[in-house]
Chain A
């Protein structure tokens, strides 16, 4: 796909995603019923869970494209991994900041070193390392390869985060949607959560395409400047 196509597609998806995110915010304040035991604080759930989903999706894309980059050495795959990693960090930061705000009300503390929280913080630091490894290597190609390895290793943490509430004693709530039985959320809460997941996913893919277009343009500009100097 051309850079122009990426920009048009990315902008359209991002605008649609932003509109839907705005709708989710509005519905979470004015439409969905208030949860009985947690009150208004439970509304944080409608941004925390979609942000977590998108962060894991993004880091999954990083791992997949990084593995394919190590195999095929195609720069387009590295660009896709970089674009997804940046989005993953943004949404992981939303997840890691909104969770403790809810935790303060539900648990009485912003942070506790229980398995899911600790593993999620570890994931955030691993992908911070992804950017540090890329930028600290003097040889750009070597930096890309090392970062790809970090991207793959980091994604191994995702299933551990999901299963940690089942395997270990954990303060974090048990799954209410992705579990063997039917979802245990009331209908309106489940509908809004699904809309939130769709909105955040569309927004992520829109911005991912724009970020990918940015890297493509940067590589083209660098190549042009190299040709001009030789």
Chain B
């Protein structure tokens, strides 16, 4: 059973991650309106959701691996101490 503190920390991290990803894609969408974006580039801006999902998958898989290693290390240390 997760402690209340742990649930709050995890919820905060997930919210922060979502905020970062959403704000990045939102600002990126605006950035493409700048003059350096070509007319052809602007025509193909609709699929920004694909970019958002691709970056989100990369972030989740990498962080998932980091958390998984940290948890396994912590449980092994506990086993060794016990």
Chain A residues proximal to chain B, CB less than 8 Å:
7, 14, 18, 21, 25-26, 29-30, 33-41, 43-44, 47-48, 51, 86-87, 90, 93-94, 97-98, 101-102, 104-105, 203, 207, 210-211, 213-214, 217-218, 220-221, 224
Write the B42-82 contact mask toward A (1 if CB under 8 angstroms, else 0): 11110110110111011001101110010011001101100
| Chain A-chain B contacts (Cβ-Cβ < 8 Å), number | 112
Residues of B in contact with A, size category: 35 or more
7 closest residue pairs by CB, A with B: A39-B44, A29-B28, A98-B54, A39-B41, A34-B41, A101-B50, A105-B47
Q: A39-B44, A217-B76, A221-B80 are in contact. Are A210 and B69 (CB under 8 A)?
A: yes
- On whether A87 and B31 interact (CB within 8 A), knowing A39-B40, A39-B45, A97-B57, the answer reads no
Q: Is the CB of A218 within 8 A of B76?
A: yes
Is the C-beta of B37 less than 8 angstroms from some C-beta in chain A?
Answer: yes
Asked if B54 contacts A40 (CB within 8 A), the reply is no
Distance between A49 CB and nearest chain B CB, rounded to angstroms: 12
- Assembly CA distance A37 to B76 (angstroms): 51
Q: Does B32 contact A (CB under 8 A)?
A: yes
Q: Which residues of B contact A105 (CB under 8 A)?
A: 44, 47, 50
Q: CB distance A207 to B32 under 8 Å?
A: no
B: residues with CB less than 8 A from A are 24-25, 27-29, 31-32, 36-38, 40-45, 47-48, 50-51, 53-55, 57-58, 61-62, 64-66, 69, 72-73, 76-77, 79-80
In the complex, what's the smallest C-beta–C-beta distance from A38 to chain B, in angstroms? 6
Contact between A94 and B61, CB atoms less than 8 A apart: yes
Are B41 and A48 in contact, CB atoms less than 8 angstroms apart? no
Query: Given A29-B24, A44-B51, A105-B47, is A37 in contact with B40 using a C-beta cutoff of 8 Å?
Result: yes
CA distance A215 to B79 in the complex (A): 14
Provide 19 A-B residue pairs closer than 8 Å at the C-beta atoms, listed in order of the A residue.
A18-B66, A29-B24, A29-B25, A29-B31, A30-B28, A34-B37, A40-B29, A40-B41, A40-B47, A40-B51, A41-B44, A41-B47, A48-B54, A94-B61, A97-B54, A105-B47, A211-B69, A214-B73, A224-B80
Q: Beyond A51-B58, A94-B57, is A217–B73 a contact (Cβ under 8 Å)? A: yes
Q: Which of A30, A38, A102 contacts B54 (CB 8 A)?
A: A102
Residues from chain A with a CB closer than 8 A to the CB of B61 are: 90, 93-94
Smallest Cβ distance from B26 to chain A, in angstroms? Answer: 10
B76 vs chain A, min Cβ distance (A)? 5
Residue of A nearest to B29 (CB): A40
Using CB atoms, name the residue of chain B closest to A96: B57
Residues from chain B with Cβ under 8 Å of A37 in the complex: 40-41, 44
A41 touches B58 (CB 8 A): no
| Given A18-B62, A39-B41, 13 other A-B residues pairs in contact with their CB atoms under 8 A | A29-B27, A38-B41, A39-B37, A39-B40, A39-B42, A40-B48, A86-B65, A90-B65, A97-B57, A101-B50, A217-B73, A221-B80, A224-B80
